[in-house]
A and B are shown apart, each in its own frame.
Chain A
Amino acid sequence: DADVTQTPRNRITKTGKRIMLECSQTKGHDRMYWYRQDPGLGLRLIYYSFDVKDINKGEISDGYSVSRQAQAKFSLSLESAIPNQTALYFCATSDPYRDAEFGANVLTFGAGSRLTVL
């Protein structure tokens, strides 16, 4: 099983609908992130959480909300989806103190959730 699992992998919805993207991890990391990827813009940070009680806005949080249900689960919600939220969404995790291969501050990404808002 993947270390970071995102569901759904693909979703098509209509303007105004509420959408939830879910992320779960088996890395045991405290820190979790949601990014969106748009062609030509790279990845931009939406929200991040350094532990279950700590939620922070990223650079493009408007129109999004998050919930950290447990250390292993971090969900992203679009309360009323709009077409310019069509993008590829990535969840990621990190541990600032230990990473066996590359050291601190390395992100582990999920495979992505492609959302299309019509």
Chain B
Amino acid sequence: GDSVTQMEGPVTLSEEAFLTINCTYTATGYPSLFWYVQYPGEGLQLLLKATKADDKGSNKGFEATYRKETTSFHLEKGSVQVSDSAVYFCALTYNQGGKLIFGQGTELSVKP
């Protein structure tokens, strides 16, 4: 079946460090890929998405590229801030379904 695998956390970085959170997926078709972020005490919110191969999603300085050849959608940010501390979830869905398959989440902690 379809699945999403993320790198284990927690990831601890200093402010202004470069961030990469790895995400790989297994899918029978051609899904859309998402990164959601969960700030402490809140629900998940969409960070970025990509709907087809080679698409790059970007938002708030984060970006991820849909790589069909490596079945990956790694999240990157050039310079993290303390306010980026959160749990990040990679997810996939097929069109019109709305049913997301989530990875296990990766906690990011950014220290001043």
Contact = CB atoms under 8 A, between A and B. Distances in A.
Contacts of A112: 42-43
A96 interface: yes
Interface in B25-71: 32, 34, 36, 41-46, 49, 51
Contact of B95 (A40, A90, A105, A110): A105
A38 to B, nearest CB: 9
Interface of B: 4, 32, 34, 36, 41-46, 49, 51, 89, 93, 95-100, 102-105
A90 B43 contact: yes
A105 B46 contact: no
A58 B99 contact: yes
A106 interface: yes
Contacts of B97: 105
A40 B46 CA distance: 20
